[in-house]
A and B are shown apart, each in its own frame.
Chain A
Amino acid sequence: MWDILVAQLTQNGLITSFVIVGVTMYVAYMLSAKLTKGKFHGSAIAIILGLVLAYVGGAATDGGSKGLASIPMFAGVGLMGGSMLRDLAIVATSFGVDLREVKKSGLSGTVSLFMGIFVSFFIGAGMAIAFGYTDAVSITTIGAGAVTYIVGPVTGAAVGADSAVVALSVAAGLVKSILVMTSTPLFAKIVGLDNPNSAMVFGGLMGTTSGVTAGLAATNPKLVPYGAMTSTFYTGLGCLLCPSVLFLLMKGIYG
């Protein structure tokens, strides 16, 4: 009986994930309406519930790295939440974007990309130094991890970092991504994140596509395409700057 059920759920993984996500969202929107009278968005609660499921999945499989999708029965969640469908859905959100808004934010969007990479890199590098790292390779790799969890390992591989340091840089990037997902609705009002221009700046500063798009979805879904537009350039630019200019700079200081 149980075996047959598990086999069916596994074989039809993507469909299973539709049901799991549907139920999660229903619970989240109900909690939002009943407990917070709609003040805390249902989508924000749904994302937090998703992260809780990811923790449970990772814990149940002794540290599986794919969250809930680490459990074979729920592997379909990995396909549904993977980069293929996520990027397709992000592109679909641009249906309704006002190009005039994008043009008006060209300068601030570009500046935010460079500033975002520099600020995150130097803070990550500074933390590495504070924790006692003294070699340019490790400092650069951890700094790159604070940029995004993709830039970290790419940079680490390019400059020849130790695998423990690479793992640390991935962890720093994951912390950033998860924190942006959950904290954007809380910061939105304070920092004026309520228009396409500041959404583009936000995307450029944070850069983590998963964090930015989930954070904006939980704040105001209309802003998602603007944030996504800039953040999609961030990881590539980070992979360009960190192992080159920024590594040479660190090498100049720390030998």
Chain B
Amino acid sequence: MVIYGVALLSGCFLVGKVTGSWLGAAIGVKANVGGVGISMLLLVIVCDILIKKGKLKQLSQDGIGFWNAMYIPIVVAMAAKQNVIGAIDGGWLALLAGGVATVVSYFMIPVISKLGQGTKVPAIEEPSS
């Protein structure tokens, strides 16, 4: 059933969020430390085990797939609720501090990427799912 996939996804999400908050509290910061990352790793591992055992039927996988496909629309909604006015109101200091930090960070990517290796992912074909 579709709900099994959604429940599995939500369960991993909650476990990650709680762990991330505990981690934050343990090191004394008022933020969630890596909650989403932990949820992601958990989901990958659990799904891998279940699929190998044949316990995660296609319909259940579709429950996760739906939220995967809703990702870009959700990001568009997220863009639509940004405080764009607030960013502009910050004036030149905010524009330069945020802008220069971003541009310099881009050019750090090739430098630090050399520490690891990745397999090139083929570009997507429009329209994506």
Residue A105 at the chain B interface, CB threshold 8 Å: yes
A124 and B97 form a contact (CB under 8 A) = yes
Interface residues of B (CB under 8 A from A): 9-10, 12-13, 16-17, 20, 23-24, 27-37, 39-41, 43-45, 47-48, 61, 64-68, 70-87, 89-102, 104-110, 112-121, 123-124, 126-128
- Let me know if A236 and B23 touch, CB within 8 A: yes
Do residues B81 and A197 form an inter-chain contact, with CB atoms below 8 A? no
- Rounded to whole Å, the gap between the CB of A245 and the closest CB of chain B is 13
Q: Which of B34, B74, B99 contacts A179 (CB 8 A)?
A: B99
* Contacting residue for A197 out of B17, B80, B91, B113, CB 8 A: B113
Asked whether A38 and B126 contact (CB < 8 A) given A77-B80, A168-B90, A174-B82, the answer is: yes
The answer to whether A120 touches B76, judged by C-beta atoms less than 8 angstroms apart, is: no
Query: Are the C-beta atoms of B12 and A91 separated by less than 8 Å?
Result: yes
Contacts of B13 in A (CB 8 A): 87-88, 91
Residue contact B115 to A107, C-beta cutoff 8 Å: yes
Min distance, Cβ B90 to any Cβ of chain A, angstroms: 2
Question: In the complex, A213 Cα to B99 Cα: how many Å?
Answer: 18
Decide: A57 near B71, CB < 8 A? Known: A32-B126, A236-B23: no
B100 to A214, Cβ gap below 8 A? no
Excluding A205-B106, A205-B112, 8 further A-B contacts by CB distance (< 8 Å) are A22-B73, A25-B73, A90-B36, A95-B64, A154-B29, A191-B107, A196-B118, A229-B41
Chain B interface mostly: helix
Residues of chain A contacted by B65 (CB below 8 angstroms): 92, 95
Contact B84 A240 (CB under 8 A): no
Given the complex of chains A and B, what is the CA–CA distance between A99 and B41 in angstroms?
A: 8
Interface presence of A94 (CB below 8 A)? yes
In whole angstroms, what is the CA distance A67 to B76 when docked?
12
Pull 27 A–B residue pairs with CB atoms less than 8 Å apart, ordered by A.
A43-B75, A46-B72, A51-B80, A51-B84, A53-B79, A54-B81, A54-B82, A58-B86, A67-B84, A88-B13, A91-B16, A91-B67, A93-B68, A95-B9, A95-B61, A101-B118, A111-B115, A123-B104, A127-B96, A171-B89, A175-B94, A179-B98, A180-B102, A196-B119, A235-B32, A236-B33, A239-B31
Assess whether B44 is in contact with A116, with CB atoms less than 8 Å apart.
Answer: no
Contact of A160 with B by CB under 8 A: no
**Within the assembled complex, what's the spacing in Å between the Cα atoms of A204 and B106?**
11
Give residues in A with beta carbon < 8 Å to B. Answer: 17-18, 20-22, 24-25, 28-29, 32-33, 38, 41-43, 46-51, 53-55, 57-59, 63-69, 77-78, 80-82, 85-97, 99, 101-102, 104-109, 111-112, 115-116, 119-120, 123-124, 127-128, 131, 142-143, 145-146, 150, 154, 167-168, 170-181, 183, 187, 190-202, 204-206, 209-210, 213-214, 217, 220-225, 228-230, 232-233, 235-237, 239-240
- Distance of A180 Cα from B115 Cα, bound (Å): 23
Measured between beta carbons, the chain B residues less than 8 angstroms from A220 are 121, 123-124
Contact A221 B97 (CB under 8 A): no
